[in-house]
């Protein structure tokens, strides 16, 4: 029992706002009904073709980039909490209004508006978490919030799938209401931190967080390691996107009508592993440099995705997903920590909007580019390439760690 309790040591002693944000994330993700069902809503309820639905979702992803950049600028000027309250409240109202509409093209425009409003708040949460933490407890904070999102998301799609069949309006209303409930917690218990972000000159381990003058692009040019880091994460995210694209196609070809059911089981297993192993990995890697853990996560991706080129039976797919998910945990809880540790407090919102746009493009472009590759070659060849990409990314991240250590010494 004592050993189990020690697994949660990285989550102890943090500001109360971190625990409030954790609970808020759990509630918000429990009610995340709309996005997992978006493709079905667009095709089955509104009547778009599969191609049109895919184009719509791609456009939403592309429009999210400028929305995040605008949000990042507002976060650094108006405030973190203010942007969260304004953007999420308006986004929730937009989603709830869809519950009172008949499924039609107007609904697609309102859903697009809500998506853009929600995107505004993404840099605000990253900046808020960075403001509230130090390098000593930051990894634990990001890990806790990451786990909170996955806890809720393990439940939300199941509820959403049930409501979708007979009670479609409740999908939108429930999604919006849970967002509002989670937002109330932030309003009451989380303070505005934009004025609390000054880093003391005596904190040698936080010298990269000290406020600076100039634009976000000037900061990035002065800190090229953040650009290199994002480009390597682009490759890692490109590889990760194939677990949601190439894998279901492969399972469909292998197991025919049972392919979708097997993929669903693997997806549920992925969520279960995240919930069970996040505290363990956080504990084990608590004192390890974030970039070193990310490099190991990239290696796990390379092994897992490379395995897909050879395996033919379902138990081995579960083993591969276990390895992949362990890598996912390592990368997810450490990437935001690394960025926060290397970003001036004065530019947290802007940097937290620009960098995810760079590496997130890997996830967006992955299915499109690999779709053409596996069409012209084979799924096995695709997995060879993705596995190699994971290993190369791990090596590059390890080299970047060496570069970072030399910079710290100078």
* DSSP-assigned states of every residue in 37-78: GHHHIIIIIS---HHHHHHHHHHHHHHHHHHHHHHHHHHHHT
258 and 220 both lie in a single domain: yes
Residue with tokens 């199941």: 158
b/e code 1-23 from CB counts within 10 Å (16+ = b) = eeeeeebeebbeebbebbbbbbe
Pick from 188, 187, 155: nearest CA to 174? 155
Rg over CA atoms, the chain: 21
- Answer yes or no: is 4 within a domain: no
- Answer yes or no: is 5 within a domain: no
Q: Say what the pLDDT of residue 202 is.
A: 46
- pLDDT tens digit string along 236-271? 999 998 887 788 878 888 887 777 678 878 887 888
Total tally of structural domains belonging to the chain: 2
Residue with tokens 């809500």: 114
- pLDDT tens digit string along 324-343? 999 999 999 899 899 988 99
76 and 220 both lie in a single domain: no
231 and 338 both lie in a single domain: yes
- pLDDT tens digit string along 180-236? 999 999 999 999 988 765 555 445 667 777 888 888 888 898 889 999 999 999 999
135 and 62 both lie in a single domain: yes
286 and 402 both lie in a single domain: yes
Instruction: Provide mean pLDDT across the span 116-129.
Output: 90
**Mean pLDDT across the chain:** 86
Q: Read off the CATH number of the domain in which 152 is found.
A: 1.20.1250.20
Share of the chain above pLDDT 70, in %: 95
Q: How far apart are CA 347 and CA 354, in angstroms?
A: 11
- Answer yes or no: is 6 within a domain: no
Classify burial at 408, counting beta carbons within 10 Å of its beta carbon; exposed 0-12, middle 13-18, buried 19 or more: exposed
Q: How far apart are CA 138 and CA 342, in angstroms?
A: 12
348 and 395 both lie in a single domain: yes
Q: Say what the pLDDT of residue 204 is.
A: 61
Pick from 104, 109, 85: nearest CA to 180? 85
161 and 281 both lie in a single domain: no
- Answer yes or no: is 144 within a domain: yes
Which among 7-11, 318-322, 377-381, 399-403 has the top mean pLDDT? 318-322
266 and 161 both lie in a single domain: no
* Token pair recorded at residue 387: 């596995």
- pLDDT tens digit string along 102-115? 888 898 899 989 98
Instruction: Look at residue 142 and give its three-state secondary structure.
Output: helix
- Answer yes or no: is 199 within a domain: no
Domain that holds residue 355: 212-409
252 and 333 both lie in a single domain: yes
């Amino acid at each position: 029992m004592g050993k189990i309790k020690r697994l949660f040591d990285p989550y102890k002693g943090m500001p109360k706002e971190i625990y409030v944000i954790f609970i808020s994330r759990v509630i918000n993700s429990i009610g995340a009904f709309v996005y997992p069902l978006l493709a079905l809503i667009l095709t089955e309820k509104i009547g778009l073709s599969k191609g049109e639905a895919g184009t719509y979702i791609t456009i939403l992803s592309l429009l999210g980039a400028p929305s995040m950049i605008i949000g990042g600028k507002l976060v650094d000027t108006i405030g973190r909490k203010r942007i969260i309250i304004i953007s999420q409240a308006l986004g929730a109202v937009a989603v709830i209004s869809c519950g009172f509409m008949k499924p039609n093209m107007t609904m697609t425009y309102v859903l697009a508006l809500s998506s853009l409003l929600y995107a505004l708040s993404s840099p605000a949460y990253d900046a808020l978490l960075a403001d509230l933490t130090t390098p000593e407890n930051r990894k634990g904070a990001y890990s806790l919030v990451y786990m909170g999102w996955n806890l809720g998301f393990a439940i939300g799609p199941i509820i959403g799938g049930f409501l979708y069949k007979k009670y479609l309006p409740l999908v939108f209303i429930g999604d919006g209401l849970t967002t509002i409930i989670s937002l109330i917690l932030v309003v009451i218990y989380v303070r505005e931190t934009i004025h609390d972000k000054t880093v003391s000159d005596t904190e040698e381990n936080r010298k990269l967080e000290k406020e600076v003058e100039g634009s976000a692009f000037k900061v990035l040019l002065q800190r090229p390691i953040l650009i290199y880091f994002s480009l390597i994460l682009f490759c890692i995210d490109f590889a990760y996107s194939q677990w949601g694209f190439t894998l279901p196609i492969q399972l469909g070809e292998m197991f025919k009508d049972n392919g979708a059911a097997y993929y669903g089981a693997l997806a549920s297993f992925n969520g279960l592993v995240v919930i069970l192993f996040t505290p363990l990995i956080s504990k084990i890697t608590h004192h390890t440099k974030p970039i070193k853990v990310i490099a190991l996560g990239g290696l796990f991706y390379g092994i897992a995705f490379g395995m897909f080129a050879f395996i033919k039976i379902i138990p081995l797919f579960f083993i591969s997903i276990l390895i992949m998910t362990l890598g996912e945990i390592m990368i997810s809880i450490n990437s935001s920590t690394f960025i926060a540790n290397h970003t001036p407090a004065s530019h947290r919102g802007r940097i937290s909007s620009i960098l995810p746009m760079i590496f997130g493009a890997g996830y967006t472009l992955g299915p499109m580019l690999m779709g053409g590759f596996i069409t012209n070659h084979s799924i096995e060849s695709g997995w060879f390439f993705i596995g190699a990409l994971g290993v190369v990314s791990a090596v590059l991240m390890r080299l970047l760690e060496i570069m970072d250590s030399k910079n710290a010494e100078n």
